[in-house]
């Protein structure tokens, strides 16, 4: 019998190995650089989905504003890259050389003070995680300390996402407006637009994703993870047991925000721009569906969910653009009505027992004496 506090149970080690093999070996071998870049983009959403599994699946806090954090992380990265691309030499045709092109178009003659620190890569790397986490802390502290939760939290986060989008679009001179921050070229002199760079970035992204997954699993199996589940199911009892429920909620919300932000930063690096269309309400809700399709309780499911939904989205919208919204809408309804535990639930209830039954027929496994029948949970 394995202990419950182990980081990964044997079966989960297999799942991790399979996932790592798929995203580190099978996909890079199987597809060309263009498609690899696309898969890398999908995987950046998996960061958000992992955060949502912690926050929503375990903690029961549905945030409809993960796009905020994805966007903040992405914008931090984009600001650094944009400043690097806007050297005085590269922008000498502007009326004010040395500032990003969109500022020049909007008659801004000086770099705003809050852009200044983004000249430094180390500051940027800290900011990518810190800015969204602090922002999440403010929202979380204001809401959870007052015991606002559930539906109200969802609506407020959604409103914040809407506000941020309107703000970014409205403040064109400082943020690049509706087009976002585009035309990003190099990272410390290294051209991120070449095929080689894209391949390298894909692997960086994949390794980061697995690291986040392991970190999330660590949180999940820890005592804190158990408290989260307890809070989701019976918040009052946890509170009466002497735990400070609000702080746990704030922490998990900030952690989910930080994961999303890493995803956002990797998105900017791989796709080469960041725009408000990844911040608002629609993308934020789509991110929830990645998590829901994968299974809101399953970290591995979240990654597969993000991959599958995005793959379906690209395929559908390339070949049948009218059908895509029907498919997406149907997916939302189907996941809620028929598969509340998503792909992971289907796998656990149908695929895994079948596999195990098959495995038990093989003499090798029977000899091993692994307690396979205890697979119900």
Tokens 């199911």, located at residue:
233
Helix ranges (DSSP H) in 64-144: 66-85, 101-105, 121-144
Given the complex with another protein, which of 40 and 51 has the nearer CB atom? Answer: 51
Choose between 27 and 143: whose C-beta lies nearer to another protein: 143
Chain centroid to Cα 333, Å, comes to 22
Query: Minimum distance between the CB of residue 178 and another protein, rounded to whole angstroms?
Result: 11
User: Which residue's structure tokens are 């309107």?
Assistant: 166
- Alpha-carbon gap, residue 246 to 239, rounded angstroms: 9
Instruction: State which residue, 14 or 155, has the beta carbon closest to another protein.
Output: 155
Closest to another protein by CB, 80 vs 174, is: 174
Nearer to another protein, 72 or 160 (CB): 160
- CB of residue 160 to another protein, shortest distance in Å: 6
| Beta-bridge mates of residue 115 | none
- 231-253 burial, b at 16+ Cβ within 10 Å, e below that, comes to bbeebeebeeeebebbebbbbbb
In the complex, least distance from residue 138 CB atom to another protein, rounded to whole angstroms? 9
Q: How far is the CB of 319 from another protein (least distance, A)?
A: 16
What is the token pair recorded at 266?
């990797």
- Kindly state the smallest distance separating residue 126's Cβ from another protein, in Å: 27
Cβ atoms of residues 24 and 114 within 8 Å? no
CB of residue 329 to another protein, shortest distance in Å:
4
What are 206's two structure tokens?
Answer: 């994949």
Residues binding another protein (CB under 8 A):
62, 64, 142-143, 146-148, 150-152, 154-156, 158-160, 162-163, 166-167, 169-170, 281-282, 285, 288-289, 292, 322, 325-326, 328-333, 335-337, 340
Backbone dihedral region of 168: left (phi > 0), alpha (psi from -120 to 50 degrees) or beta?
alpha
- Nearest to another protein of 11, 145 (CB atom): 145
Least separation in angstroms between CB 342 and another protein:
12
Read off the tokens for 1. Answer: 């019998």
Closest by CA position to 294, among listed 252, 347, 333:
347
Smallest gap from residue 181 Cβ to another protein (A): 18
Q: Which is nearer to another protein, 57 or 272 (CB)?
A: 57
Min dist. Cβ of residue 59 to another protein (A) = 12
90 burial type by CB count under 10 A (0-12 exposed, 13-18 middle, 19+ buried): middle
- Cβ–Cβ < 8 Å for 220, 4: no
By beta-carbon proximity to another protein, the closer residue of 163 and 351 is 163
**Exposure of 373 by Cβ count < 10 A (0-12 exposed, 13-18 middle, 19+ buried)?**
exposed
Query: Which residues face 174 on adjacent strands?
Result: none
Give 119 or 147: the residue with its C-beta nearer to another protein: 147
How far apart (Å, rounded) are the C-alpha atoms in residues 8 and 217? 8
Compute the distance between CA of residue 296 and CA of residue 298 in angstroms, rounded to an integer. 6
């Amino acid at each position: 019998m394995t202990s419950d506090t182990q980081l990964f149970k044997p079966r989960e080690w297999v799942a991790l190995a399979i996932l790592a093999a798929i995203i580190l070996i099978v996909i890079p071998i199987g597809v060309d650089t263009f498609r690899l870049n696309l898969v890398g983009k999908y995987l950046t959403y998996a960061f958000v989905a992992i955060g949502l599994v912690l926050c929503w699946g375990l903690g029961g806090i549905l945030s409809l504003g993960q796009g905020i954090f994805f966007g903040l992380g992405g914008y931090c990265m984009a600001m650094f890259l944009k400043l690097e691309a806007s050297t005085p030499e590269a922008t000498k045709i502007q009326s004010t050389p040395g500032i990003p092109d969109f500022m020049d178009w909007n008659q801004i003659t000086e770099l705003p003070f809050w852009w200044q620190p983004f000249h430094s890569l180390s500051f940027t790397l800290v900011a990518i995680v810190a800015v969204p986490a602090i922002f999440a802390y403010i929202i979380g502290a204001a809401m959870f300390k007052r015991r606002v939760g559930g539906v109200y939290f969802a609506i407020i986060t959604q409103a914040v996402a809407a506000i941020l989008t309107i703000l970014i679009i409205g403040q064109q001179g400082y943020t690049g407006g509706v087009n976002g921050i585009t035309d990003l070229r190099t990272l410390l002199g290294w051209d991120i637009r070449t095929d080689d760079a894209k391949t390298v970035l894909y692997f960086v992204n994949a390794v980061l994703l697995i690291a986040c997954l392991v970190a999330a699993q660590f949180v999940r199996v820890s005592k804190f993870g158990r408290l989260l589940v307890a809070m989701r199911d019976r918040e009052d009892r946890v509170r009466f047991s002497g735990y400070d429920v609000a702080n746990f909620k704030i922490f998990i919300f900030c952690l989910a925000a930080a994961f999303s932000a890493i995803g956002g930063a990797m998105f900017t690096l791989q796709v080469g721009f960041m725009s408000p269309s990844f911040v608002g309400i629609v993308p934020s809700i789509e991110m929830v569906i990645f998590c829901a399709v994968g299974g809101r309780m399953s970290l591995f499911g979240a990654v597969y969910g993000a991959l599958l939904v995005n793959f379906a989205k690209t395929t559908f919208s390339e070949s049948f653009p009218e059908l895509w919204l029907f498919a997406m809408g149907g997916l939302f309804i189907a996941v809620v009505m028929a598969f509340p535990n998503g792909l992971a639930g289907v796998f656990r209830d149908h695929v895994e027992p079948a596999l195990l039954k098959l495995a038990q027929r093989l003499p090798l496994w029977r000899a091993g004496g692994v307690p396979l029948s205890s697979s119900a949970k």
